[in-house]
C-alpha cells in the first residue's frame, strides 16, 4: 500500500482556492477526490479552486451542491461536484447511484465523503480540512491506495 | 386549456393540473400526501427510485383532485432542466409516456422559469419588466423579467444558496429542520443587532451573492462564545435579564437572519432601481420568510416600488408553476418531441434572453 501525505496551511479563502487550483492542474480523467471537513471549513471553496485548475470557463459558477446533490461542470474533462451533506445513511447514498460517476471518465469531487466511507474507490485523493481559527485552515492531502 | 405539469427536479415528486396558465385545479406534492402507504410507504426524497415509486400515484391523484381525466387534458409539461439528472429523468420519462399514450403535446420546461412564473399566477396586476428574486434551498437568483417571458440574469450566488445557509446554520445550532422557519421564529425573540455578522458582497457593485462566509462566521462566533461563556443556552431567561452582555440563541438567529436578509433586500432594491422596474417579485421556499417579506416591502415602499410573493403552495417546488409557464410557452408555439431529454445544467440565462 502506498500513501503520500502532505499538509498545507492556508490563511484566507483565496489561499485555499489557490491551493485547489494547483491541485486541479495535476488531476486527470477518472480521479476521485474525497473532501472531509466540518461545516464552514472551506470544502466548496477548495473545490472552486480545483475546478479552475481543471480548466472550467472563467464565468462558470462553482456553487454548493448541498441541495441538488450533484453539480456538473465542463472542464478539460467533465467535473462532477458531489455533496453528501443531506444524506444521512449508506442506503440513501447507495440510491444516488454514484458508481456511475466514480467509474466514469470525469473527475469526481465529493464533499462530506466520510459518509460513504466504504463506497470510496481504493485509489482516491483524500483531503482533510481542519479549522484553526476563523480564517486559518490545515489542509491535509493524502494520495492513497487503501481500503 | 388544461395542462398537466410535472416536476421531479430534486426531492419532490410534484404534479398539478392548471387551466389557462392561472387556475390551479390541483397541486399535489408527494411529501405532503398523508397516505404514503398507497405507493410503498416511503416519503419520496432524493433518489430516482423514490420518484419512480411515487410518480404514477401522484399523477393519478392530481387528476382526481382536479376532477378531470386524461380526455380533459390538452398538454403535458415537465421540468427537464436544471436539476439532479436521475430525478429529472423520471419526470421526463413519465411525461413522454403520457404524451405518447394520450396523443398530447409535450413541453419541456426550465424549473427556474416555473418559479419566476409563480407570482403571475396569483397577481393580476403584475407588470413587466419586473425584478424577480428566487430564493430557495438550491437557488439564489436575481432576474429581470420582460414581456413575453424574456429574461436577463442579473446575478446569483457564488457558493451557498440562501435557504441552504439557513438549513446549515440551524443544524449547526441544533435547531432541527426546516431551518428557515425555525430561525425565522426564533429571530423574532432575539436582538438583530446583538452580533454584527458580515454582509458578504453587499457592496460589490454587482448582483452576485455569497452566503457561505456568514455560515462560517456564525460557527466561529458560537465556538468563541461557548468558550468565553457569554453564550447562554437552555433555561436562561433570568440570566439574560440580569446580565445584558450575554448572548442567546435567539440573538444569534436574529443577527444571522438580519445579515442574510440585508444583502438580499439591498441587492434586489438596487436591481429594481437600476433597471427601472417598479415591481419586485419574491419566489422560492425562502419567499415564505417573514423578515425577508417585511424588510423587502418596507425598503421597496420607500422608493415607491411594490413587492409580490405567491402563497406557500406556489413558493416551494411544485407542478402548478410548471403547468402555468407551459401555457404561456404553448401560446408562443413551443412543442417538444418525444426525443426531449433531461439536462442537469440548463441555466435560465439560456432561456429567451432579452436583446
* Residue B42 at interface with chain A, using a CB cutoff of 8 Å: no
Q: Closest to B137 (Cβ–Cβ): which among A45, A67, A72?
A: A67
Q: What's the CATH superfamily of B127-309?
A: ATPase, nucleotide binding domain (3.30.420.40)
- Mean pLDDT of all residues in A3-15: 94
**Nearest chain B residue to A98, by CA:** B86
In this prediction, residue B272 carries a pLDDT of 96
Q: Are A45 and B159 an interchain contact pair (Cβ–Cβ within 8 Å)? A: yes
Query: Which segment of A28-37, B113-122, B173-182, B332-341 scores lowest on mean pLDDT?
Result: B173-182
In this prediction, residue B263 carries a pLDDT of 98
B235 pLDDT more than 70: no
* Residue B164 at interface with chain A, using a CB cutoff of 8 Å: yes
Contacts of A40 in chain B (CB under 8 A): 212, 215-216, 219-220
* Residue A89 at interface with chain B, using a CB cutoff of 8 Å: no
pLDDT in tens, B162-215: 999 999 999 999 998 888 999 999 999 999 999 999 999 999 999 999 999 999
B39 pLDDT more than 70: no
Q: Are B212 and A64 an interchain contact pair (Cβ–Cβ within 8 Å)? A: yes
For A10-138, CATH gives 3.40.50.300
- Mean pLDDT of all residues in B31-49: 54
Q: Spell out the residues 6+ positions from residue B180 whose beta carbon is closer than 8 angstroms to its own.
A: B163, B166, B167, B170, B285, B286, B288, B289
In this prediction, residue B35 carries a pLDDT of 47
Q: Are A72 and B49 an interchain contact pair (Cβ–Cβ within 8 Å)? A: no
pLDDT in tens, A45-79: 999 999 999 999 988 999 999 998 999 998 899 99
Q: How many helices (H) and strands (E) does chain A have?
A: 4, 7
What is the ipTM score, two decimals?
Answer: 0.92
What are the structural domain ranges in chain B? Answer: 2-116+314-350, 127-309
Q: Are A40 and B164 an interchain contact pair (Cβ–Cβ within 8 Å)? A: no
Q: Closest to A64 (Cβ–Cβ): which among B159, B216, B217?
A: B159
In this prediction, residue B242 carries a pLDDT of 55
- Single out the residue of B329, B333, B285 nearest to residue B311, CA to CA: B285
CA distance B4 to chain A (A): 24
Alpha-carbon distance values, A110 to A32, A64, B56 (Å): 8, 11, 33
* Residue B48 at interface with chain A, using a CB cutoff of 8 Å: yes
The confidence band for B260, taking pLDDT boundaries of 50, 70 and 90, is very high
Contacts of B159 in chain A (CB under 8 A): 44-45, 48, 63-64
Contacts of B44 in chain A (CB under 8 A): none
CA distance B67 to chain A (A): 33
Alpha-carbon distance values, B152 to A25, A113, B276, B314 (Å): 34, 37, 14, 22
pLDDT in tens, B306-330: 999 999 999 999 999 999 999 999 9
pTM above 0.80?
yes
State the first-to-last Cα distance of chain A, in angstroms, to the nearest integer.
9
Taking one residue from A and the other from B, the number of pairs with CB-CB distance under 8 angstroms is 76
The confidence band for B355, taking pLDDT boundaries of 50, 70 and 90, is low
Contacts of A13 in chain B (CB under 8 A): 213
- Single out the residue of A52, A99, A144, A90 nearest to residue A60, CA to CA: A52
CA distance B195 to chain A (A): 16
Q: Are A44 and B212 an interchain contact pair (Cβ–Cβ within 8 Å)? A: yes
* Mutation target vs A (from B208, B216, B342; most A CBs, 10 A cutoff): B216
- Mean pLDDT of all residues in B3-14: 94
In this prediction, residue A17 carries a pLDDT of 98
pLDDT in tens, A100-143: 899 999 999 999 999 987 889 989 999 999 999 989 999 999 99
* Residue A132 at interface with chain B, using a CB cutoff of 8 Å: no
B43 pLDDT more than 50: no
* Residue A61 at interface with chain B, using a CB cutoff of 8 Å: yes
**Nearest chain B residue to A134, by CA:** B220
Contacts of A42 in chain B (CB under 8 A): 216
SS3 B135: strand
* Residue B177 at interface with chain A, using a CB cutoff of 8 Å: no
Torsions phi, psi of B214, nearest 5? -65, -40
According to CATH, the topology of domain B2-116+314-350 is Nucleotidyltransferase; domain 5 (3.30.420)
Overall size of chain A counted in residues: 147
CA distance A23 to chain B (A): 20
Q: Please state, in angstroms and rounded to a whole number, the distance separating the CA atoms of residues A110 and A96.
A: 13
Q: Is the model more confident about B204 or about A91?
A: B204
B33 pLDDT more than 80: no
List all residues of chain A from 21 to 40 with a beta carbon under 8 Å from chain B. Answer: 39-40
Residues of chain B above pLDDT 70, percent: 92
Contacts of A87 in chain B (CB under 8 A): 46
In this prediction, residue A146 carries a pLDDT of 47
In this prediction, residue A144 carries a pLDDT of 74
* Residue A104 at interface with chain B, using a CB cutoff of 8 Å: no
In this prediction, residue A87 carries a pLDDT of 85
Contacts of A39 in chain B (CB under 8 A): 168, 171-172, 215, 219
- Mean pLDDT of all residues in A24-40: 96
In this prediction, residue B42 carries a pLDDT of 39
- Single out the residue of B179, B151, B193 nearest to residue B350, CA to CA: B151
In this prediction, residue A145 carries a pLDDT of 60
Spatial contact of A29 and A106, defined as CB atoms under 8 Å apart: yes
DSSP class of B209: B
In this prediction, residue B354 carries a pLDDT of 79
Amino acid at each position: 500500500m502506498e500513501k503520500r501525505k502532505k499538509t498545507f496551511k492556508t490563511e484566507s479563502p483565496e489561499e485555499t482556492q489557490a491551493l485547489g487550483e494547483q491541485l486541479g492542474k495535476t488531476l486527470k480523467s477518472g480521479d476521485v477526490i474525497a473532501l472531509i471537513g466540518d461545516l464552514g471549513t472551506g470544502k466548496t471553496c477548495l473545490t472552486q479552486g480545483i475546478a479552475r485548475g481543471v480548466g472550467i470557463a472563467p464565468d462558470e459558477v462553482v456553487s454548493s451542491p448541498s441541495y441538488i446533490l450533484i453539480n456538473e461542470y465542463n472542464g478539460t474533462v467533465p467535473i462532477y461536484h458531489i455533496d453528501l451533506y443531506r444524506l444521512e445513511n449508506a442506503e440513501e447514498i447507495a440510491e444516488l447511484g454514484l458508481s456511475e460517476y466514480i467509474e466514469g471518465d470525469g473527475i469526481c469531487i465529493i464533499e462530506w465523503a466520510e459518509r460513504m466511507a466504504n463506497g470510496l474507490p481504493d485509489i482516491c485523493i483524500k483531503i482533510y480540512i481542519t479549522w484553526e481559527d476563523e480564517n486559518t485552515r490545515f489542509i491535509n492531502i493524502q494520495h492513497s491506495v487503501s481500503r | 386549456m388544461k395542462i398537466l405539469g410535472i416536476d421531479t427536479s430534486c426531492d419532490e415528486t410534484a404534479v398539478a393540473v392548471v387551466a389557462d396558465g392561472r387556475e390551479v385545479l390541483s397541486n399535489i406534492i408527494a411529501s405532503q400526501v398523508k397516505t404514503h402507504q398507497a405507493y410503498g410507504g416511503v416519503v419520496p426524497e432524493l433518489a430516482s427510485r423514490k420518484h419512480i415509486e411515487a410518480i404514477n400515484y401522484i399523477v393519478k391523484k392530481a387528476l382526481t383532485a382536479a376532477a378531470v381525466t386524461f380526455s380533459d387534458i390538452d398538454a403535458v409539461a415537465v421540468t427537464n432542466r436544471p436539476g439532479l439528472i436521475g430525478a429529472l429523468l423520471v419526470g421526463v420519462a413519465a411525461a413522454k409516456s403520457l404524451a405518447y399514450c394520450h396523443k398530447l403535446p409535450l413541453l419541456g420546461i426550465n424549473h427556474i422559469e416555473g418559479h419566476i412564473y409563480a407570482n403571475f399566477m396569483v397577481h393580476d396586476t403584475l407588470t413587466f419588466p419586473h425584478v424577480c428574486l428566487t430564493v430557495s434551498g438550491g437557488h439564489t437568483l436575481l432576474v429581470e423579467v420582460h414581456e413575453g417571458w424574456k429574461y436577463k440574469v442579473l446575478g446569483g450566488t457564488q457558493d451557498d444558496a440562501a435557504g441552504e445557509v439557513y438549513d446549515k446554520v440551524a443544524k449547526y445550532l441544533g435547531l432541527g429542520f426546516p431551518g428557515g422557519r425555525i430561525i425565522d421564529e426564533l429571530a423574532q425573540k432575539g436582538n438583530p443587532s446583538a452580533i454584527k455578522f458580515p454582509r458578504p458582497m453587499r457592496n460589490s457593485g454587482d448582483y452576485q451573492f455569497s452566503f457561505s462566509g456568514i455560515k462560517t462566521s456564525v460557527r466561529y462566533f458560537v465556538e468563541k462564545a461557548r468558550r468565553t461563556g457569554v453564550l447562554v443556552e437552555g433555561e436562561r431567561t433570568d440570566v439574560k435579564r440580569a446580565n445584558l452582555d450575554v448572548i442567546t440563541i435567539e440573538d444569534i438567529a436574529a443577527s444571522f437572519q438580519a445579515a442574510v436578509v440585508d444583502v438580499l433586500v439591498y441587492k434586489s432594491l438596487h436591481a429594481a432601481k437600476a433597471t427601472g422596474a417598479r415591481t419586485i417579485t419574491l419566489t422560492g421556499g425562502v419567499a415564505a420568510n417573514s423578515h425577508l417579506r417585511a424588510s423587502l416591502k418596507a425598503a421597496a415602499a420607500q422608493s415607491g416600488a411594490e413587492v409580490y410573493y405567491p402563497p406557500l403552495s406556489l413558493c416551494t417546488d411544485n407542478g402548478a408553476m410548471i403547468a402555468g409557464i407551459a401555457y404561456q410557452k404553448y401560446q408562443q408555439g413551443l412543442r417538444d418531441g418525444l426525443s426531449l431529454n433531461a439536462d442537469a445544467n440548463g441555466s435560465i440565462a439560456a432561456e429567451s434572453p432579452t436583446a
